[in-house]
């Protein structure tokens, strides 16, 4: 099989960081905050690399859209086993003007999916694997929009992927169970949590990754307009949880509930 896979790797605030909203409520604090690859993108990379190890695909290309720093995210994907990277550069200036709120505001799912659709054609990709969702915007839209723009079939929320010639069997995590579908390539798959356990990049592989190639392109080179269609009005902290009350007896509990108008 000579398939080429594009994998989307988004740089996000690390999942372990406690997010702080800026005092002027225009966004969240990103300066000096640890960033990492979106966890679902790690799963997407792992799946693509596994397909390559099984010799079912020829090349794995890691793609990240954003400012200069996303190259670190691409390097991580290269250290995990991707063959080369594409950095779709959105300059700091565009970022700041449009990034009224979250860091990736200008690059919402619509803009990113236009980029992936254009790259898929340029690179003659047969498969695009994305995370099911980015943990910063929680959009869960990019895979679906990319498939729609390309008019390709989609296997979203994948927990198992089997490539058989030009067909893909995808087990999908749906409400209350698993759904198995068969789709034709080219296709878009989005990775769910149980698809695999991503490998850690080993030191030798991190060193090797330094020699792998990252190509730089601008959205305009791909004919993509990244202007945002959304205006973020404000960003708020989630409401503080009220502290609870300890009661000694069931009788006290019932009284408290009555007082609070709950029963």
- The Cα 218–Cα 107 span in angstroms is 13
Please report how the helices 70-80 and 39-53 are oriented relative to each other, as an axis angle in degrees rounded to 10: 40
220: which DSSP letter? G
The residue range among 125-133, 164-172, 210-218, 250-258 that interacts with ligand AMP, by the rule CB under 6 A, is: 125-133
Q: Which is nearer to ligand AMP, 44 or 224 (CB)?
A: 44
Is 131 near ligand AMP (CB under 6 A)? Answer: yes
Q: Out of 30, 140, 205, 228, which residue is the one contacting ligand AMP (CB under 6 A)? A: 140
Q: Out of 13, 104, 153, 219, which residue is the one contacting ligand AMP (CB under 6 A)? A: 104
Size of the site for ligand AMP (CB under 6 A): 24
Residue 236 CB, nearest approach to ligand AMP (Å): 20
Q: Which is nearer to ligand AMP, 24 or 225 (CB)?
A: 225
The percent of the chain in helix, strand and coil, each rounded to the nearest 5, is: 30, 25, 45
- The Cα 263–Cα 255 span in angstroms is 9
The residue range among 6-14, 75-83, 169-177, 222-230 that interacts with ligand AMP, by the rule CB under 6 A, is: 6-14
- The Cα 108–Cα 135 span in angstroms is 13
The residue range among 39-47, 167-175, 215-223, 248-256 that interacts with ligand AMP, by the rule CB under 6 A, is: 39-47
**Nearest by Cα to 171 from 47, 62, 77, 50:** 47
The answer for residues whose C-beta is within 8 angstroms of residue 13's C-beta and 6 or more apart is: 19, 28, 30, 33, 34, 35, 103, 136
Site string for ligand AMP, 53-82 (x = CB under 6 A): ----------xxxx----------------
- The Cα 146–Cα 143 span in angstroms is 5
- The Cα 148–Cα 153 span in angstroms is 8
The residue range among 53-61, 103-111, 177-185, 244-252 that interacts with ligand AMP, by the rule CB under 6 A, is: 103-111
Q: Out of 45, 130, 189, 224, which residue is the one contacting ligand AMP (CB under 6 A)? A: 130
Max CA separation in the chain (angstroms): 71
Q: Which is nearer to ligand AMP, 30 or 140 (CB)?
A: 140
**Nearest by Cα to 186 from 159, 172, 168:** 168
Q: Which is nearer to ligand AMP, 102 or 209 (CB)?
A: 102
Q: Which residues bind ligand AMP (CB under 6 A)?
A: 8-10, 38, 40-41, 44, 63-66, 104, 107, 109, 112, 130-131, 133-134, 137, 139-142
């Amino acid at each position: 099989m000579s398939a080429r896979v594009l994998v989307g790797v988004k740089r996000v605030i690390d999942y372990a960081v406690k997010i702080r909203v800026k005092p002027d409520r225009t966004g969240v604090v990103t300066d000096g905050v640890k960033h990492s690859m979106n966890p679902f993108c790690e799963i997407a990379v792992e799946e693509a690399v596994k397909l390559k190890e099984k010799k079912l695909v020829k090349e794995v290309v890691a793609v990240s859209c954003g400012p200069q720093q996303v190259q670190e995210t691409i390097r991580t994907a290269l250290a995990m086993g991707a063959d080369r990277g594409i950095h779709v550069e959105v300059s700091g200036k565009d970022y700041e003007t449009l990034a009224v709120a979250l860091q990736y505001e200008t690059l919402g799912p619509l803009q990113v999916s236009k980029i992936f659709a254009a790259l898929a054609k340029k690179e003659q990709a047969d498969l695009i694997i994305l995370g099911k969702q980015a943990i910063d915007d929680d959009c869960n839209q990019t895979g679906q929009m990319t498939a729609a723009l390309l008019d390709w079939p989609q296997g979203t929320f994948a927990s198992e992927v089997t490539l058989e010639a030009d067909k893909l069997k995808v087990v999908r995590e749906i409400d209350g169970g698993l759904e198995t579908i068969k789709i034709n390539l080219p296709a878009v798959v989005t990775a769910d949590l149980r698809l695999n356990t991503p490998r850690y990049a080993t030191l030798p592989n991190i060193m090797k990754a330094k020699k792998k190639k990252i190509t730089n392109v601008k959205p305009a080179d791909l004919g993509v307009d990244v202007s945002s269609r959304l205006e973020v009005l404000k960003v708020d902290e989630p409401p503080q949880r009220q502290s609870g009350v300890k009661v000694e007896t069931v009788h006290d509990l019932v009284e408290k509930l009555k007082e609070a108008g709950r029963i």
